A and B are shown apart, each in its own frame.
Chain A
Amino acid sequence: MIGQYVETLSTYANDIDNLILSIGVLVGFWLILCEVIFFYFIFRFRAKDGQRAKYITGEEATQKRWISYPHLLVLVCDVFIVVFAVKVWYDVKQQLPEPYETVRIVSQQWAWSFVHPGADHELGTADDIKTVDELHIEVGKVYHFKLEARDVLHSFSVPVFRLKQDAVPGRVITGWFEATGTGTYDIQCAEICGIGHGVMAARIVIESAERHAAWVAEQSSITLAAANQP
């Protein structure tokens, strides 16, 4: 459903779309059923001359089952949705697969800064690559992110990944993603963060292994040159 309009570019994006679709089918069924019966009753029982309304208390068991059976069916649907939702949630948010690399994401009013681990795949070393408003990652690799906020709440949202995570000052929140296709896409700040909230956009650049290696090499030379200057 959503995949037709927004690309699905992470390993869990399809699971989230399928969950949304399943919920859509279930609640859509109930909604249409209820609305159809509701409007049918409105039409069927409109006032007519000389016809009197029925006197129904709804307190007898034979009458009550008209609401109690549907209510049990709703419960069954709820159980299905809970199980499916929790499973997806567990995969995306609760478990962390082994990472290939870890990136640091720092949000502040009103920009995103990214720290890439560089050629040695380790954060916190001299060859780390720092960028602003542009995150470069390699396709098909598991990334962890360490999400921080400098001032107020922000939210790291990548619609093509179906990923969203608030950034909270004073905390480092770890999450993960694995891209399944290349391209350049939006990173949004999805939590209101002041007057610049509307311009707090960044881009995520998902590259093939060769392109990414080339980018790292090019950036590393700049970083090292800068470091070597007196």
Chain B
Amino acid sequence: MAEPIPAEEMHAHDDHHHAEQSFWSKYVFSTDHKMIAMQYMFTGMAMALIGGFMAYAFRMQLAFPGVDVPGYGTVTAADYNALITNHGTIMIFWVAMPVLIAAFGNFLIPLMIGCDDMVFPRVNRLSYQIFLLSAIVLIVSFFVPGGGFGGAWTAYPPLSAKAEYNLTSLGSSFWLVAVALEFIAFLLGGINFVTTVMNARAPGMKMFDIPLVVWMIVVASILFMASVGPLIAGAVMLFMDQNIGTAFFDPDKGGDPILWQHLFWFFGHPEVYVVLLPAMGITAEIMCVFARKKMFAYKTFLYTTFATAVLSFTVWAHHQFIAGIDPRMANIFTVTTLLISIPIAEMCFIYIATLYGGSIRFTTPMLWALAFVAEFMIGGVTGIFLGASGADIYFHDTYFVLAHFHYTFFPIAIIGSFAGFTYWFPKMFGKMMNETLGKIHFWGTVIPFNCIFIPLFFLGGIGQHRRIYNYQHFPELAGPEMQDLRIFATVSLLVMLAFQLVFFYNCFISWRKKEKDAGPNPWKANTLEWTTESPPPHGNWTELPTVYRGPYEYSLPDREEDYFPQNVPS
């Protein structure tokens, strides 16, 4: 085992600790983990706005086919495909990943394990720079001749491989390059996260004293690094199929289009857990703090996480039951897929058990955390229908699938991110957010979210298939009742998008406040990030902390205060 590296050595060549910094070195080329976290956070938010705008454009088309969408114009069939493709790609790879893993990982890991920065600060900076480049490439892909790629975020060949089929020769290559660059950025980030947590923890912090969110980000990073290799290889193969005439996926020349599906989903399914785990960790932190409770069965929670991570590598072909794979394979993947419901169910039980006997304060972050659990359970159980091969024959590629994964990804990427952002905002900026506005924003997001996707479950259940820009071409799907449900979902989306303005307004006025009113520990929490000033200075602590206990010692019976920070000697 490597010894923890002393802070002075780590920064032997970075002598800008206390020096005045120029704008460029402070905000753009910074190697400070907190600044890189903010870069990821705000890039992710900007991309979320783009992804949300795309959802607005194609939902308008679905509700009111052929209408001139204000701010977009007419949505043609080609536009529609490009919009849904890039909405999915952006929300997963450029919103969920950067915000949940990179932003929270970068911000929290050094602060929660008690060190002054990541162990590879320059690798960290490089990771963000590659990520930013990937985002730019993706945005550019929309404006090249032929327009953006429209072959769905899964990019199944031959549609994605041949320009004569997808009609977007440049767009599809740009899309692929952007995705591959994004993977490289997160590989670099993942190396950093795992190494930092394993080697740079504060003295006294044992494995089981690490806060759950840090554990979750580490497991997610390992999961990502172990699963993404095949897809990077696949992306290179697809790129060569597109551009230099190889035939890895071309059946006319001996290739196999289904090979791509295996490479994609071998990564794609673990990817769900890559973003799920950090959101679960964030929720766990917040629930413990605001219920003033110790995490119920911390170690069991951790072991179920490991079980989920291992199992997640064995379930990928449930996305391909009817794709033309050998039908006998479906039986095996049905078993593994239903097995993974057990650790996930257990994690939900642990959340519920943690609330038992608590003293729950309904702050904005707590509302988000509770909503995460309540909504995610719906997403979880609806997945059982799709993992059961016999039922998937009917549900595959319908809106039932779409509603199911939005009930997992929305709680993860949006609810989980808002939970973390509102909880750590005081630490990031030293100022409290406005609670009233926070709660208005919470209800204005969560209620419309359910109103969008519950009708879509229903539409999927009665056979509405996916990725169709106008359902009037299908007699069984053109009825006015079904159209009413589509309109209801779209209107709910408009309401939800409008309420996001409250969030940005709240951020703005809170950030503008003159007085830093947060103090080091506004929530009376135990973990180490709350033992330094808000915002933490460069280097995080003047004297690095020592750890004496686990992170969730709330409401200990023999103590006067109901919390016991990790760094306070007993």
Proximity bits, B353-390, A CB within 8 Å = 1, else 0? 11111111110000000100110011001101100111
Task: Judge whether A164 and B348 touch: CB under 8 Å.
Answer: no
Smallest distance from the beta carbon of B254 to chain A beta carbons, Å?
Answer: 9
Provide the A175-205 mask, 1 if CB < 8 A to any CB of B, else 0. Answer: 0000000000110111111111111010100
Asked whether A157 and B397 contact (CB < 8 A) given A38-B352, A152-B158, A198-B468, the answer is yes
B523 at the interface (CB under 8 A from A): no
Which residues of A are found within 8 Å of B554, using beta-carbon distances? 53, 55
Among B102-110, B292-300, B410-418, B509-517, the one that faces the other chain is B292-300
Given known contacts A53-B359, A192-B151, A186 and B476 CB-to-CB distance under 8 angstroms: yes
Q: Which residue of A lies closest to B65 (CB)?
A: A198
- Stretch in B274-282, B338-346, B423-431, B435-443 with 4+ CB within 8 Å of A: B338-346
A222 to B385, CA, bound (A): 47
Return the CB mask of B26-42 against A: 1 if under 8 Å, else 0. Answer: 00000000000000000
Any A CB within 8 A of the CB of B80: yes
Contact present for B291 and A45 (CB under 8 Å): yes
- Chain B residues 123 to 153 lying within 8 A of chain A, measured CB to CB, are 150-152
Interface of B, helix, strand, loop or mixed by DSSP = helix
Q: Is A227 an interface residue (CB 8 A)?
A: no
A191 to B322, CA, bound (A): 11
Quick one: which of B165, B293, B360, B462 has the most chain A CB within 10 A? B360
Size range of the chain B interface in the assembly: 35 or more
In the complex, are the beta carbons of A47 and B167 less than 8 A apart? no
B334–A86 CB distance below 8 A: yes
Find chain A residues with CB under 8 A from B151 CB: 192, 194
What does the 1/0 interface line of A14-47 toward B look like (CB < 8 Å)? Answer: 0110011001101110110011011101100111
Q: Tell me which of A23, A53, A84, A163 has the highest count of chain B C-beta atoms within 10 A of its own C-beta.
A: A53
Contact B296 A93 (CB under 8 A): no
- At the interface with chain A, which of B194-202, B262-270, B325-333, B535-543? B325-333
- Contact of A165 with B468 in the complex, beta carbons under 8 Å: no
Across the interface, do B349 and A70 meet the contact criterion of CB distance under 8 Å?
Answer: yes
Contact indicator B323/A166 (Cβ below 8 Å)? yes
A211 interface contact, C-beta 8 A = no
Give chain B residues whose Cβ lies under 8 Å from the Cβ of A53. 291-293, 357-359, 554-555, 562
A82 touches B335 (CB 8 A): yes
A73–chain B nearest beta-carbon distance, Å? 10
Q: Which of B80, B321, B341, B373 contacts A78 (CB 8 A)?
A: B341
Residue of B whose beta carbon sits closest to that of A2: B461
Inter-chain contact B384/A2, CB cutoff 8 Å: no
User: CB < 8 Å: which of B76, B299, B393, B395 contacts A93?
Assistant: B393
A24 to B458, CA, bound (A): 13
A6-B462, A78-B342, A93-B330 as given contacts; A55 in contact with B294, CB under 8 Å = yes
Mask, A135-167, CB within 8 Å of B = 1, is: 000000000000000011101010100111111
Rounded to whole angstroms, the CA-CA distance of A102 and B355 in the bound complex is 60
- Say yes or no: is A121 at the interface (Cβ < 8 Å to chain B): no
Residue A94 interfacial (CB < 8 Å): yes
CB-based contact B77/A153 at 8 Å:
no
Q: How far is the CA of A170 from the CA of B345 in the complex (A)?
A: 41
B476–A185 touching, CB < 8 Å? yes
Does B356 contact A41, Cβ atoms closer than 8 Å? yes
A85 touches B390 (CB 8 A): yes
B388 and A55 form a contact (CB under 8 A) = no
Residues of A within 8 A of B476 (CB): 6, 159, 185-186
B341 touches A190 (CB 8 A): no
A198→B156 contact, CB < 8 A:
no
- B residues less than 8 Å from A85 (CB atoms): 334, 388-391
Contact of B355 among A42, A153, A162 (CB under 8 A): A42
A192 CA to B83 CA, complexed, in Å:
13
A170 and B393 contact, CB distance less than 8 A: no
Give the CA-CA distance A159 to B331 in the complex, in Å.
Answer: 23
Q: How large is the interface on A (under 10, 10 to 19, 20 to 34, 35 or more residues)?
A: 35 or more
Q: Is the CB of B393 within 8 A of A54?
A: no
- The CA of A46 and the CA of B294, in the complex, are separated in Å by 16
Q: Are A34 and B324 closer than 8 Å at their CB atoms?
A: no
- On chain A, the residues within 8 Å of B150 by CB distance are 194-195
**Among candidates A74, A78, A162, residue contacting B393 with C-beta atoms closer than 8 Å:** A162
Q: Tell me whether A98 is interfacial, beta carbon within 8 Å.
A: no
**A198/B465 contact (C-beta < 8 A), A162-B393, A186-B477 known:** no
Contact (A195, B381) CB under 8 Å given A63-B297, A89-B330, A169-B257: no
Given A53-B554, A54-B555, A159-B476, decide whether A41 and B323 contact each other with a Cβ distance below 8 A.
no
Partner of B388, one of A42, A81, A165: A81
A167–B324 alpha-carbon span in the complex (Å): 7
Q: For chain B residues 450-486, which have a beta carbon within 8 Å of chain A? A: 461-463, 465-470, 473-477
Q: Is B526 an interface residue (CB 8 A)?
A: no
Q: Decide if A225 is an interface residue (CB 8 Å cutoff).
A: no
Contacts of A41 in B (CB 8 A): 352, 355-356, 358
Shortest B251–chain A CB gap in Å is 3
Seed contacts A38-B374, A53-B562; 20 additional CB < 8 Å A-B pairs? A5-B461, A16-B393, A23-B385, A24-B385, A31-B378, A34-B377, A45-B359, A55-B294, A58-B296, A84-B388, A85-B334, A93-B322, A94-B328, A152-B158, A162-B393, A168-B257, A169-B158, A188-B474, A189-B465, A190-B398
User: Chain B interface (Cβ within 8 Å of chain A)?
Assistant: 76-78, 80-81, 150-152, 156-159, 165-167, 251-252, 256-258, 291-300, 321-324, 327-328, 330-331, 334-335, 338-339, 341-342, 345-346, 348-362, 370, 373-374, 377-378, 381-382, 384-385, 388-391, 393-398, 461-463, 465-470, 473-477, 554-557, 562
11 pairs across A/B with beta carbons < 8 Å?
A: A45-B355, A58-B296, A78-B338, A89-B331, A109-B165, A152-B165, A157-B397, A165-B322, A168-B251, A170-B252, A192-B152
